[in-house]
Amino acid sequence: MPDAKLKVAVVGAGNWGYQHARAYCLREDTTLAAIVGRTPEKTRKRADLFGARAYFDITEMIEKEKPDLVSVCLPAQHNVDATLEVIESGTPLLSEKPIAYALPDAERMIAEAKKRSLFYAIDFNQRYSIPCLMAKKAVEDGELGEPLYLSWRFGHGWDTPTLSHPFLNLIEAQCHGLDMCEHFFGKIAALTAEMTDRGGRESYSTFTLALSFENGAVGSFLATLDADEHNRNSQYIELGGTKGRILIEDNVRHYSFHRNGEATSTEWSAGFFEDGLRSFSTNLDRHLDALIPALKKGEAPPVPAEKGLRALVLAHEAIRSFKTGTRLSV
């Protein structure tokens, strides 16, 4: 398989289904064979756009196409049955985030995949922006020193009326942030949560967490759907250590590293013609750069689905902390 093209299918004809189809079509090591959707006209149109075959049943598609990998790009409130259908077929899969809303659903999907020793990945693509890749390397190489503090702030709006949940922001949007905190600094040991529903969205659309990491570092986490992502620095990540400080602005926009005791900093931003480096969508492409070789070599996914379960566990513990007014070990 190392030199062969992988046959890939995408389940879902929505916005992120489009991005997965686009990314597979641009790669030299994958062939997009099929699009599976629920709406015939939309699904056929998407399949025609990418030169793939349209299907409306996952099992039928898998039986006819025998794909090497399936991307499941469905709303997480409705993805459980479809994901299990792929898992039970024994087909390797990449799922969009979040893994699920209910913990028993996520635990069942993980368990069923483990029974089959199945390659099961989740697309926590914020890990693959250039600034986040640089920050991760700086932490791993010891350039930051001993981790001391992490600050995550993310303020944006929400315009997807088909999704509704009291803790939509926490589970749907901020699974990224919960994953990224542990991606940079390791396991969160304890958390405390405060939330407000004053945003008029019939949900706790703004919340804050106080975090304690196993390595002794502390963290603050502020996230809201009651803002506008068009504002500069709608997302702001700060990592502090004994040797310096890292700042990441808007995930793909800008990176800086300021060493303690120095008056200058190291900075990165995409060049004038480097549109792909400043595009959030191409985080997926960089994720696939790591995922496809791992699948071909029979290795574990670079971001296994268990990371999605962990983010969901943290989210539910944050809900419990808020409801009980207590600090919880996690």
What is the per-residue pLDDT for 159?
77
Which regions in the chain score pLDDT beneath 70?
Answer: 1-2
Residue-wise pLDDT for 167-211, tens only, equals 999 999 999 999 999 999 999 999 999 999 999 888 999 999 999
SS3 assignment, position 193: strand
What is the per-residue pLDDT for 101?
97
6-118: CATH class = alpha beta
DSSP collapsed to 3 states, 17-34: HHHHHHHHHHCCCEEEEE
Fold of domain 126-282+312-329: Dihydrodipicolinate Reductase; domain 2 (3.30.360)
What is the per-residue pLDDT for 1?
52
What is the per-residue pLDDT for 9?
98
What is the per-residue pLDDT for 164?
85
Q: Which residue has the tokens 């686009």?
A: 22
Residue spans in the chain of domains classed CATH 3.40.50.720: 6-118
Q: Which residue has the tokens 């991606």?
A: 183
Residue spans in the chain of domains classed CATH 3.30.360.10: 126-282+312-329
Residue type for 304, please? P
| Rg of the chain taking only CA atoms, in angstroms | 20
Beta carbons within 8 Å of 4's beta carbon, 6+ residues apart: none
What is the per-residue pLDDT for 204?
97
Q: How much is the pTM?
A: 0.96
